[in-house]
Amino acid sequence: MLKVQVGKTEAVDSAYRRLMKKVVKGGVIAEVKRRKRFESRSDCKKRRKKATIRKERKRMGLPV
What is the tens place of the pLDDT at every residue in 4-52?
A: 999 999 999 999 999 999 999 999 998 999 899 999 999 999 999 999 9
Q: Which domain range does residue 30 map to?
A: 12-60
Distance (Å, rounded) from C-alpha 50 to C-alpha 19? 30
Distance (Å, rounded) from C-alpha 38 to C-alpha 1? 23
pTM of the model as a whole: 0.58
Please check whether residue 21 lies inside any domain of the structure. Answer: yes
Please check whether residue 52 lies inside any domain of the structure. Answer: yes
Please check whether residue 6 lies inside any domain of the structure. Answer: no
Q: Which of 30, 8, 4 is nearest to 17 (CA)?
A: 4
Please check whether residue 3 lies inside any domain of the structure. Answer: no
pLDDT at residue 36, rounded to an integer: 94
Look at the chain and report how many structural domains it folds into. 1
Please check whether residue 7 lies inside any domain of the structure. Answer: no
DSSP 10: -
Please check whether residue 1 lies inside any domain of the structure. Answer: no
Distance (Å, rounded) from C-alpha 20 to C-alpha 29? 10
